[in-house]
Amino acid sequence: MVGEAAAIGDVMTGALGARAVEPRAGEAYDATHAHPADCLNCGTALQGDYCHSCGQHAHLHRSVGAIWHDIAHGVLHFEGKTFRTLPLLAWRPGELTRRYIDGERARFVSPMALFLFGIFTMFAVIQALGGSLHTPTLSAEAQAETRTEMTRSIAANDESIRLMTVEKAALAERGASTAAIDRRIASVEEENRRTRIIMNEILGTGTTNADPFGQAPPTETGWKRLDKGIAKFRANPNLALYKMQTNAYKFSWALIPISVPFVWLMFAWRRRFHVYDHAVFVTYSLGFMTLMGVVLTIAWAVGLSSEVAWSIALLLPPVHMYRQLRGTYGLRRFNAFMRTIALATFAVVAMVIFFLLLLAMGALG
């Protein structure tokens, strides 16, 4: 039950994060509700649907029905543009990407909102189905190190929450909005919740040490932080894998800036395509890959064979890349095919870079 509850929390966190990125883009407003003459938050005279001084909406719901409306829109993100976006993302990704780039923003879910929701949902599904990224617990010494490290992280986050709570009280006393700091507090609390769950999982088992690098000699790359990360991985794989899971979850957005330069290289001589175009292309593509992972994981859990799941996971991404390249950049079949080969190669390189960054960053230091 703990895993399922945590997974539901992750999905809701992802939906709320996506909602924060795209709060009301293109949504119709119900004009049947009466507006107050002055903003209920700061008292400024209203001139439209929003206060031009503090940004608060002119109409505030105060009914039970409005609560369910807010849940549906704010958490589940169910709205017309979701159902317009997902079919195009699956079957005609190039058309979706091109239309969004060309200005149809209100009609579709933004690429970043879709990506955030996909990432949180993917990790939630993996966690709910028992797919935590850790190995059997190590020796008593390794267990003690793991417990100390995670306890230190929780304590640091608790101190951050305390300081932010003081800051929030000061903002509230001045009558300023606390929405931003509320989101920061919720994010840190979510990280602590996940840390406690993973710590219980890691320290709740106990078998033998297993070096994920096998019996190979120590690797020397010349990059000190990376070599240190590999050494720590060998010494305590459980702790290293826990940190990699946590940071892959937190820093998955880094795949976007890592990937964009590779796509830019394929069209560097075409001045009509800009970096923004490539960023939209990459983010929608990553959003599709995360949602594909969610669907395949659930299908595998309910009986789809591993062979079929892996076959789809290996064959579908290149097909999707090909269709998205053709539609987004107006390529002919052969040009799209050659660039798909290059893009698939770049995707593997980007994942390797991301993995190495996770090893080398301070989380493993």
DSSP 126-185: HHHTT--S------HHHHHHHHHHHHHHHHHHHHHHHHHHHHHHHHHHHT---HHHHHHH
- What amino acid is encoded at 122 in this protein? M
d(CA 365, CA 358): 10
Query: Are the beta carbons of 172 and 271 closer than 8 angstroms?
Result: no
Instruction: Report the SS3 class of residue 291.
Output: helix
Which pair of structure tokens corresponds to residue 50?
A: 């929003």
Predicted pLDDT at 211:
45
- In sign, the C-alpha dihedral spanning 75, 81, 82, 85 is negative
What pLDDT is stored for residue 214 in this prediction?
44
Q: Tokens 């890592």 identify what position?
A: 258
Query: How far apart, in whole angstroms, are the C-alpha atoms of residue 330 and residue 76?
Result: 34
Residue ranges in the chain whose pLDDT is less than 70: 1-35, 60-80, 130-143, 197-245, 360-365
Tell me if 236 sits within 8 A of 138, measured CB to CB. yes
Say how many C-beta atoms besides its own lie within 10 A of residue 193's C-beta: 16
Written as six digits, the tokens of 229 are: 């990360």
Of how many residues is the chain composed?
A: 365
Is 357 in contact with 250 (CB distance < 8 Å)? no
Residue 30: Cβ-neighbour burial (10 angstroms; 0-12, 13-18, 19+): exposed
Whole-number pLDDT of residue 143: 67
Q: How far is CA 261 from CA 241, 275, 325, 350, in A?
A: 28, 8, 15, 10
252 near 350, Cβ under 8 Å?
Answer: no
Radius of gyration of the chain (CA): 23
DSSP sequence for 1-18:
-HHHHHHHHHHHHHHHHH
What is the three-class DSSP state of 269? coil
**DSSP structure string for 68-113:** HHHHHHHTS--SHHHHHHHHHHHH-HHHHHHHHHTT--TTS--HHH
Q: Which amino acid, one-letter code, is at 192?
A: N
Q: What is the pTM of this model?
A: 0.62
Report pLDDT digits (tens) over 229-269: 666 666 566 666 666 667 777 788 889 999 999 999 999 88
How far, in Å, CA of 359 to CA of 353, rounded?
10
Show Cβ contacts of residue 172 under 8 Å, excluding neighbours closer than 6 positions. 178
* Angle at which helices 64-74 and 2-21 cross, to 10°: 90
Q: Which residues contact 115 (CB under 8 A, 6 or more apart)?
A: 253, 256, 283, 284, 286, 287, 290
Record the tokens describing residue 103, joined without a space: 């200005």
